Amino acid sequence: MADQELARDLGFLEAYTLGLGTMIGAGIFVLPGIVAEAAGPASMVSFTIGGIVALLAALSLSELATGMPRAGGSYYYINHALGSFFGTIVGWGMWAGLMFATAFYMLGFGQYLLNQPSTAIGVVVAALVMAALLTLLNYRGVKETGSFQNFIVIALVGLILVFIIVGLPQVDPDLLTPFTAGQGWAAVGVTAGTVFVTFIGFEVIATSAEEIKNPGRNLPLAMVAAVVTPTLLYVFVMLVSTGVLPVPQLATSDVPVADVARVTAGALGTVTIAGFTIQFAVIGGGIMIVGAVLATISSANASILSAARVNFAMGRDKILTEWLNQIHGEYRTPYRAILATGGVILSLIASPLPIATLADVAAFMFLITYALVHIAVVVLRRADPDNYEPDFRIPSWGYPAVPIVGFLGCVAILVQMGDTPLVMVSGVTLLSVVQAIGGGIILLSIGWWAYYARSEAISTTLVGEAVAPTEADDAENDVYRVVVPVANPATEESLIRYAAASAYGHEGPTELVAVNVIEVPPQMSPEQIELEEERVERQQELLDSARGTAATLDIPLRTRAIVGRDAGSALLSTIAEEKADHVLMGWGGTRRRRDVIFGSTLDPVIERAPCEVTLVTNPSRSPGRIVALAGRGPNAPIAIRRAGELARTFEDASLTLVNVQPTADDETPGDGEDDETVTPRETGTEAIRSVATAAGLDDSEYESRVVVSETVRESLLETVRQYDTVSVGATGEGVAAQALYGSIPQAIVSQADGTVLIARDADRSPRTLREALRDRLKGLLENE
């Protein structure tokens, strides 16, 4: 059985926004009041410390993620580097940390929604209702949440930048003194732990490592950028906040950023339009409230998704029972894990724990995690297992300094966390409430390991662990490679035979690559597909059958079993990775929606694949009598070449090239000295000969047929119906929806009784401005 692999369809920009979306959230709106009360303007330093500690963790995570790209993120790396004991601690810790963070986000949502303290009944009720809705949303698996998240990220970054730009000129230096408050610089270290809840989001990039293109470059860049960006934004937000409002006023505010925005925007005065007076103070505060509401929802939703993924990874390693990871039969989501996560979140919201404590506990658990991540890097470097070959390694100048300093930084913050003492001796806090709760979670996880996971967990070793496959060496680049997506058992054998015919037509080494893609919703970790045995078995049966067919044809074939959120993007990534020369795909012949031409899976491949593309409808075991259209279209030669490959390979096949000419009202003058005329039939014969030559066919390999008619379209359709197989080139006529394929191929497919091949050459049709700008931007960012 082939190992499941995930589609690499995330570039730098997608990975960066994925991480940024989980970090530009509730913390930037809720924390300013909390941290200002504890550390005053020096809370800017707390954010800087948190950012540096997160940056060091991001570097270690980048190496682990590119060496062990599997679902579960830090939990997975630690479990397979340090064993199930530490894996259990980190797995439970990450799950708990995400739930505590979500409860913190939801109470922040209620504060900004109602402008009341987090302890107010209305705030708690609002938080409970929204948390329940998000749990239900993820339970049902709404695919569009990803696009909504991206919109929120862009909007929030814009709002925060405006907030900073408008606020900086109004900063009062006098309000920044004294720079520290309360406990002085000691409070800065304590507060660094509180603010770390805002930096836990970059973990999501590591959990998506197997889906990122060029991970050795894009993953560390995305993680570093996703940490540096919010760090700078948070520092400037605190500078503006503490420089515009006095610390006591900021500390007592339930909506601190909105209150600061009212003051800074209020300096712009008012404007009267059509008799209505608009107060910028009201607008500024209102916009930030809306931003805070969206941010808290976005952060909470992302945390619920991440928590379900950690559950799955623990269940896969038998640290948790598989019962928790059951996939819903209709929604395809890990509904039990989502419900369990949602239930705990609701309990935390309703608990008497202060909002600051919720944030501290979440940060505490992730600091434990990242401290062990640094240890895992050192262990893997020293063990140097054969299969640990990360695409990104911490540079020599940074190793072992990065993991050592990163580990010490995490520990330094951990020992200071929590401003509410639980155990004190001689005025010195030995144990805070936050440390007690975090320690309690660790003890519970150790108990679970001793009771259940110790005997049930899968014993893993570094050497035996599967890692990302290595790239093919340069010698393989000379192979003529045909990618064949397979999905339908009824047509699979014929598609493999047609692909083999294409390969036979080329000298030198050839290879077929059979690909099957299983789509999953965003609420489901792609790796959770292994829990759906029926879908996995069906995928393996298809690929096993493809191997069997190739064996009878005496042609090399590899199979790839891929799991992704979008089949079209997954196929495009596979084509690029394989450096395919040709992709041959089956097509049912009908459109699934009005806004697509061939289907949402096929369209992106057909439009953007950098190789030859052939669509095949109703493929038969043998093509029989083949007809190819020898027209003037740019893809006519490739269509004829496809037809010629089939005719050469199948013994009972024959090939006819057809050209249809309109009846001439007036004869066309020739170029000869005697001014002889050229008849439509002669024009058609010459067109066939010209296209056949361009396709590399000899005269002996085909028969010519010229049809002269007053109704070209109707005659063409009537002619091709007389053959078993039709090969036609993609046209460039028609409106935008038919820019690639035009109306003739579509009409042939709808009216022909036999097999139809629609082919296009490797040269793509002109891109739209939007596509060109998109590709240009991605190329610059990804260096592709």
Q: DSSP states of 515-580 as a string? A: EEEEE--TTS-GGGGGG-HHHHHHHHHHHHHHHHHHHHHT--EEEEEEEES-HHHHHHHHHHHHT-
pLDDT tens string 18-37: 777 667 767 788 888 888 88
Q: In this structure, are residues 629 and 727 in contact, taking their beta carbons and an 8 Å threshold?
A: yes
Confidence of residue 406 (pLDDT cuts 50, 70, 90): very high
The pLDDT assigned to 8 comes to: 63
| Position with higher pLDDT, 391 vs 676 | 391
Lowest mean pLDDT of 424-433, 474-483, 729-738, 768-777, name the range: 768-777
| Position with higher pLDDT, 130 vs 33 | 130
The pLDDT assigned to 132 comes to: 93
Q: In this structure, are residues 759 and 635 in contact, taking their beta carbons and an 8 Å threshold?
A: yes
pLDDT tens string 452-484: 877 776 655 332 232 232 344 444 457 899 999
Paired tokens of 622: 């043998």
Paired tokens of 403: 């993991």
For residue 386, with 0-12 CB atoms within 10 Å meaning exposed, 13-18 middle and 19 or more buried, which class applies?
Answer: exposed
Q: Using alpha carbons, list the distances in angstroms from residue 392 to 202, 214, 255, 527, 697.
A: 17, 10, 42, 23, 48
Confidence of residue 337 (pLDDT cuts 50, 70, 90): confident
In three-state secondary structure terms, 487 is coil
Angle (CA) 761-485-488 rounded to 5° is 125
Residue 206: closest CA among 94, 359, 296: 94
Residue 551: closest CA among 498, 504, 490, 496: 496
**pLDDT score of 666 more than 50:** no
How far is it, in rounded angstroms, from Cα 729 to Cα 363?
59
Work out the average pLDDT over 233-247: 89
How far is it, in rounded angstroms, from Cα 539 to Cα 248?
62
* Torsion sign across C-alpha atoms 734, 739, 742, 743: negative
pLDDT tens string 704-720: 999 988 888 888 888 88
Residue 562: closest CA among 65, 2, 72: 2
Q: How many residues does the chain have?
A: 784
Q: What is the pTM of this model?
A: 0.66
How far is it, in rounded angstroms, from Cα 549 to Cα 545?
6
Q: In this structure, are residues 675 and 669 in contact, taking their beta carbons and an 8 Å threshold?
A: yes
Confidence of residue 150 (pLDDT cuts 50, 70, 90): low
**pLDDT score of 114 more than 80:** yes
